[in-house]
Structure 1
Amino acid sequence: MKSLLITLSVLLCSSAFAQQLPTRWDELSAVDWPAALEKSSQTCVLPIGILEKHGPHSPLGNDLIHVREIAARVVKNEYAVVFPDYFYGQINEARQQPGTFALPGVLIMQLLEATCDEIGRNGFKKIIIINGHGGNPEFLQFFMQNLLNKRHNYAVFLYTPGSDPEFQKQYAKLRKTDPSTDLHAGERETSTMLELRPDLIHVEKGTEQSGADQKRLPLTNLYTPIWWYASYPNHYAGQGEKATHELGKLIVDHEVAGFTDALKQVKADTKTLQLQNEYYDKVDNLGKN
């Protein structure tokens, strides 16, 4: 009987420890590491944001805070280790604004690959990136393809939310502004932050600067890197003052559900790394037969 009680006590303590295991990389201890790797299925979440102006009413770290908070909510129910704050992305179009942190393109490519290498070196076989910045997708997609430049012992996944007709219906009912003009620090982003960090939002300041398209560059079928500044010199595109908590909750709940599903898929995945290694083997053996 005494032996049974001891066994039960050990099991209960182990279960309690598993529940209390921190999710943030920087909050884990070194002795937690093996348990964190096992519980996460060797999966690390890498939230990527930016430091840039978000109108006159939102914080510079809006995008970083956004994905950090979404990740934090998801891993409470679907365990994974979350990498600390990462804000080294593409943001050259906002260098004229105070508080912008912009690094050279070559450096951000090298830094992200080196970061993933270090995450992999610490035992993670799967890295899932969740991006919060609208200026990052092209950079991140190129980064992903560039990972095939050499063998890596880990797989990287870039979360790309799909369309959801039911969500779009609810979203259309709640929003107050034209979605085609709601591009940066407008109703959607500000509503999201009202749900995540209302203490950082000052909706009443949303009208202090114009978020309208200034249409200063009348070109068609041509791309120039100055296009964003030409249209939105205030680095603000939309009407942040129209934001609501109700819309923000709808967006956040939808994002949490979508990323939870993606994280579960990554944790269960056994094929990506296998196929990746098969690819590298064929590259290494090319021309040897």
Structure 2
Amino acid sequence: MKNLLLVLALLLCGSAFAQQLPTRWDELSAVEWPAALEKSSQTCVLPIGILEKHGPHSPLGNDLIHVREIAARVVKNEYAVVFPDYFYGQINEARQQYGTFALPANLIMQLLEATCDEIARNGFKKIIIINGHGGNPEFIEFFMQNLLNKRHNYAVYFYTPGNDPEFQKEYKKLSKTDPSTDLHAGERETSTMLYLRPDLIHVEKGTEQSGADQKRLHLTNLYTPIWWYASFPNHYAGQGDKATKELGKLIVDHEIAGFTDALKQVKADTQTLKLQNEYFDRVDSLGRK
């Protein structure tokens, strides 16, 4: 009887331990690591933000805080380990503004690969990137294509939300501004942060600077890296003063649902790494023929 009670106690303790397992990399202890690897299906979430001006009314870490919060809320119900704050992305277009943290292109490429390598060295086979900064997708996609330059013992996934007509319909009901001009620190981003971290938002300051397109370049079918500064020298594009918590909640709930689905897919995926290895086996075999 005593032995049975002991077994039951151990099982209950084990269950409680599993439920209390931290989700943040920096909050786990080394002895909890094997349990975290097993519970996450060896999956690590890498939220990538940036440090840049977000109008006169929002914090510099708006994008970082945003994805950090989304990741934290998702992994409460769909367990994965979340890597600590990562803000080393592409932000050269905002170097004229205080608080911007911009590193050279070769360095951010090397740093992201080294970070993924270290995440994998600690036992994770799957890394899913969730990005919060509009200037990062091209960089991240190019980085990921470059991963095919040499064999890696892990797979990287980049979460890219698709179009959702039902969400767009609800969004239009609550939105007060033109989506085509709501590009940076405007109604959408400010509403999201107003819902997630209202203590960091000062909506009343949203009109202190102009977020309108200055239209200082008149080029057709041509790209130049100065285009953003030409249009938005204040590094502000939209109307942050129109933000509402109601719109922010709609956005956040939608993002949580979308990323939860993506995380579940990654945890269940057995094909990506298998296909990567098959690809590199074929690459390696070319030199032996």
Aligned residue runs from structure 1 range 250-265, under 5 A: 250-265=250-265
What is aligned with 1:16?
16
Counterpart secondary structure, 2:157: strand
CA distance, structure 2, for counterparts of residue 259 and residue 7 of structure 1: 38
Q: Which runs of 5+ in 2 are unaligned?
A: none
Fraction of identical pairs, as percent? 89
Instruction: Kindly report structure 1 stretches of 4+ aligned residues shifted beyond 3 Å.
Output: none
Letter of the structure 2 residue corresponding to residue 86 of structure 1: Y
Helix, strand or coil for the counterpart of 1:207? coil
Residue 221 of structure 2 is matched in structure 1 by: 221
Name the TM-score, length of structure 2 as normaliser. Answer: 0.99
Find the counterpart in structure 1 of residue 83 from structure 2.
83
Cα distance in 1 for partners of 2:266, 2:201 equals: 34
Counting only pairs closer than 5 Å after superposition, residues 269-284 of structure 1 correspond to structure 2 as 269-284=269-284
The residue correspondences of 1:2-81 to structure 2 (distance < 5 A) are 2-81=2-81
Aligned partners of 2:127, 2:287: CA distance in 1, in Å? 32
1:217-246 residue CA offsets vs partner (Å, 9 max, x unmatched): 111111000000000000000000000000
Computed over aligned residues only, the root mean square deviation of the Cα atoms, in angstroms, reads 0.5
Distance 1:165 1:2 in 2: 60
- 2:238 maps to 238
Instruction: State how far apart, in whole Å, the 2-side matches of 1:287 and 1:89 are.
Output: 36
TM-score with structure 1 length normalisation?
Answer: 0.99
What secondary structure sits across from 2:262 in the alignment? helix
Q: Which amino acid aligns with 1:116?
A: C
Aligned-partner Cα distance in 1 for 2:222–2:267: 42
**Matched residues in 2 for 1:257 and 1:11: separation?**
32
Structure 1 alignment gaps of length 5 or more:
none
Report the AA paired with residue 139 of structure 2: F
- Name 2:286's counterpart in structure 1: 286
Aligned position for 2:268: 268
Q: Distance in 1 between matches of 2:288 and 2:104?
A: 39
Aligned length: 289
TM alignment of 1:186-225, pairs within 5 A = 186-225=186-225
The residue identity in structure 1 corresponding to 2:145 is Q
SS in structure 1 opposite 2:67? helix
Using the alignment, how far apart are the partners of 1:149 and 1:29 within structure 2? 34
* Residues in 2 aligned to 1:110 and 1:139: alpha-carbon distance in whole angstroms: 12
Match in the other structure for 1:168 = 168
